[in-house]
Amino acid sequence: MKMNLKTCHRFFATAFVYYLTCMTSAVVAGEPSVLEIPTNPVAMPVAVLIGKNFNQHRAAHFELIELDATNIGLNLALPVQIIPAAGEDGTLSEGDQQLLVMIPPNDTARRTRRFRPQPSKNKPLNQFRFEAISEASLGIWQGDQPVMAYNHGKITDQRVPKDDHRRHRHGCYIHPVWGLDGEVITDDFPKDHYHHHGIFWTWPHVRIGKEEYDLWTYSNIEQRFVRWIHRETGPIAAVLAVENGWYVGARQVMIERVWIRTFAAQGGRRAIDISMTWIPMDRAITLQGAAGKSYGGLTMRFASRDDKHTTITVPAGRATEDLPDTPLPWADYTSQFVGTQALSGATVMIPPTHPDFPPSWLTRHYGALCVGYPGVQAKSFPAGKAFTLNYRVSVHGDSAQLENLKQDYNAYTSAMKVHWSE
């Protein structure tokens, strides 16, 4: 039988896919073998749960091969990173793992892309490293580029008056966050609000029994570092998990566990996923945001250099005024920062699975994006029961046009639809 060149290509393409299918099934036998991912016009960071038997030997390396391409020679081989998953209480899950992968953009007309895992002969490059900046701060680098620092100890600023309790109460937060060109985009101890500090999560109204506390300014309650839960770097992301506590004097009233997953920069973006789990100790805790404003929860304070270049963009477009107590799925802050003449910034995103979605925000052009949850209406959380909030901070290095921001948020929500199939 004679085959022309086109027939030969089809024959070998089919044979190659069949070979990959058989080889991979032997490695991950008994588990779904195809990862279905929505088509995306921008780079999509993906984190998907897998069974504990997927990679029994941590020394083994895997990659994802894209199926259904019109030319088998153009199929993508993507490195993956397999990490422990967080349990419902924010500690390491006993049985689950997560597969991390960065899916490059695709403009195909197909609504779904399909990928199959297979063993890789090559060890993927570890892009990240942790390094202590001080006794109180742990830094994350991607190559030679600083990405962020997690401050687990108390940070003091000599510019704050000695008699002001906010001088040295900061702890358990992210700062600095560096932009893609090496500029610092977050602020700490700003003159207008000494208690603002990088990316942080605090509330102005914390009630326990008949007593009320102010975690927002650390006047009579504070966060303290307890222990590291997990640290890991790899080809896709740096993963940091930490346990803190809320303390009134010597008494701990809340367990706080935070997972920070920092993806490698790609396509002019860097995704930072933050997952926070809290468990009230022996008594219920009631949280409430500021009346009429709704701040209280995740907050990002920016260090803009020139207000003339500052824009806040929301799904409806550019916000010309500050937005108090406003429901939003995302908000972006773009400005000029020390270290660059270009515009840059970050988008804070809320997943559709967030309670009371979309929550109410307070935005400030002077440099603050404040997600409010539970907002101006108080909510009580029972003792011993965990609750979790998830967010993404997308650091970008451009002027953040509305259409680009919408595509970035769509990639975030589309990644939640990724699933395994047979």
Average pLDDT score over residue span 40-67: 78
- Identify the residue with better confidence: 8 or 410: 410
Neighbouring-strand partners of residue 242: 228, 258
Name the band, by pLDDT with cuts 50, 70 and 90, for residue 94. confident
Q: Which of 3-7, 285-289, 331-335, 384-388 has the lowest mean pLDDT?
A: 3-7
Q: 334-371 burial, b if ≥16 CB within 10 A, otherwise e?
A: bbbbeebeebbbbbbbbbeebeeeebbbbbbbebbbbb
- Secondary structure of 236-277 in the HEC alphabet? CEEEEEEEEEEEECCEEEEEEEEEEEEECCECCEEEEEEEEE
Instruction: Give CA torsion, residues 51, 53, 54, 58, to 10 deg.
Output: 120
User: How deeply is 12 buried, as exposed, middle or buried, from its count of CB atoms within 10 A (0-12, 13-18, 19+)?
Assistant: exposed
Residue found under tokens 């941590």: 58
Average pLDDT score over residue span 97-119: 88
As a whole number of Å, the CA-based R_g of the chain is 23
Average pLDDT score over residue span 323-352: 94
Rounded distance between C-alpha atoms, residue 61 and residue 65, angstroms? 13
- φ, ψ for residue 24 (rounded to 5)? -70, -40
Q: Which helix (H) or strand (E) covers residue 247, if one does?
A: strand 237-248
- φ, ψ for residue 89 (rounded to 5)? -95, 5
Q: How far is CA 399 from the centre of its chain?
A: 21
Q: Is the pLDDT of residue 6 over 80?
A: no
- The count of other CB atoms within 10 Å of the CB of residue 85 is 18
Neighbouring-strand partners of residue 103: 44
Rounded distance between C-alpha atoms, residue 296 and residue 288, angstroms? 7
Rounded distance between C-alpha atoms, residue 297 and residue 328, angstroms? 14
Average pLDDT score over residue span 242-268: 97
The string of pLDDT tens digits covering residues 130-161 is 999 999 999 999 999 999 999 999 877 667 66
Closest CA to 372 of 384, 385, 389: 389
Average pLDDT score over residue span 29-36: 71
Closest CA to 413 of 44, 53, 95: 44
Which pLDDT value is given to residue 353?
Answer: 97
Q: Please provide the average confidence, as pLDDT, over all residues in the chain.
A: 87
